[in-house]
Amino acid sequence: MNNLIRIIKKAIKNPRKACDVLIHNFLMVCLGMPPALLILLLRPIVFVRIVEIQAHKLGDLVIRCDIYLSEKRLGRHRGFVDLFFLNGKPINKAVTNYFGTEMTWRRWLKWPFVALKKIAPNSGHLHLPRSGDIEGVLVTDQVNIPLSQDIIKRGDEWLAKFGVSPDDDVLLFANRDSVHLSTVLPDRDWSYHDYRDFPIDDMLPMVEVMTQKGYYAVRVGAHVAAPVETDNSRIIDYSSLGWSEEMDLYLGHRCKMMISTTSGVVEIARLFRKPIGYVNASPFLTMTNIKTRRENFWCPKLYYSKHLGRCLTFQEIVDSGHGNTSKGHILEDAGIELINNTPEEIITLAEEMDASVNGRFSLGQEDETLIRRFYDILGGMTPEEGFAQISAGFLRKHQSLL
């Protein structure tokens, strides 16, 4: 009786929300319960799973589909009949169409998924692919789905307008700001991870250096806070010149490498197994939570302690328990401010990556010693074990933090 009274009071206080809940439950019962019960009844004959793919964020959409297909290629999903649906409005329909050649999307499966979650949540009939490659199933040269020749042809024609020939090397670059998520998901407060942001201007000195090495540099990102201000004809501000869903896929396929940060846009390059440089990586331990290619490089943001009046050592960051803290207000309450990589540090990482992709990268004895000390602090998670390569130049500059 008390529960009923509470429900009535909530409905009176917020009738719109109460109406939404009522419609949701009605659809779950009418559209979801019959197929959910059928799935349970058929279990002795055929094991059906409903696979949910989060579609409203590019990183989630790409990585979950890519991991699922990689696991399937390795034989992980044998014995199941998997049915797929997209949860949320697709952030990029070209990407969902790309994966749709292997994963047929059925929107109505949302309702039996919700019903099964209600009546049999631990039955094994619900599957959510991982959002991080903790096992290294993507650490391979094999692309799960080749890009169509039609998309490649249209992409080549688009780049040709900027003087880019099929033989030219293309570098993708991007920063992270609050504009994208605030635009596509305006009803949510995303300020809790503004600490990961940094301005595009910090990337431009690196881009200038890389164009001098012969690259064409293409800035990617669907929504950006500011355009790239440059007179360099080899820098293409694709984000401000007519972004398209299909071109995201093409550029991930076309690039030689990408330099960005730990945000969803890098997944378009990883989808096609291209080397990635992660600058301003944060939280500090984020790159130890996933396995990646040895050709990938990274450097983290520094953690400045307002209480101590200095940057925390790498060991102090780990010991503080904030190495994986993902909410800015918690860091702020702890008196920790994250310091962006300098333009010079970003240049150094890019030059190391360029040397790596062209077979010229090597480490001196001093660098190897510093890198060993750094990975010892992280628990021995070395590139040999499937983790990204820390920038040697970054460690040389900050060896006092080791």
Where exactly are the structural domains of the chain? 16-127, 149-401
Neighbours of 22 (CB within 10 A): 11
Q: What is the pTM of this model?
A: 0.89
The whole-number pLDDT of residue 18 equals: 54
Q: Which of 174, 180, 149 is nearest to 279 (CA)?
A: 174
Sheet holding 310-311, edge to edge: 310-311, 302-305, 336-339
Write down the pLDDT at residue 140: 85
317, exposed or middle or buried, with CB in 10 Å at 0-12, 13-18, 19+? Answer: buried
E-strand ranges in 282-370 read 297-300, 302-305, 310-311, 336-339
User: Rounded CA gap, 394 and 298, in Å?
Assistant: 9
Give the per-residue pLDDT at 4. Answer: 43
pLDDT value for 183: 62
- Return the SS3 of 200: helix
| CB within 8 Å of 174: residues ≥ 6 apart | 203, 219, 220, 221, 239, 258, 260, 261, 263, 265, 266
CA-based nearest residue to 350, from 200, 236, 201, 207: 207
Q: What is the pLDDT of residue 14?
A: 63
Q: What pLDDT sits at residue 387? A: 83
Neighbours of 217 (CB within 10 A): 28
What pLDDT, on the 0 to 100 scale, is given for residue 7?
A: 46
- The reported pLDDT for the residue numbered 375 is 93
Distance CA 35, CA 399 (A): 60
- Residues ≥6 apart with Cβ < 8 Å to 348: 391, 393, 394
Task: State residue 382's pLDDT score.
Answer: 73
Q: Mean pLDDT of successive 10-residue segments in the chain (402 residues)?
A: 52 61 68 93 97 92 96 95 95 96 95 94 95 89 95 97 97 82 65 80 97 97 83 93 91 98 92 97 90 91 98 97 92 96 98 96 95 92 81 98 97
Task: Report how far apart the first and last C-alpha atoms of the chain are (Å, whole number).
Answer: 62
Q: Please give the single-letter amino acid code of residue 20.
A: D
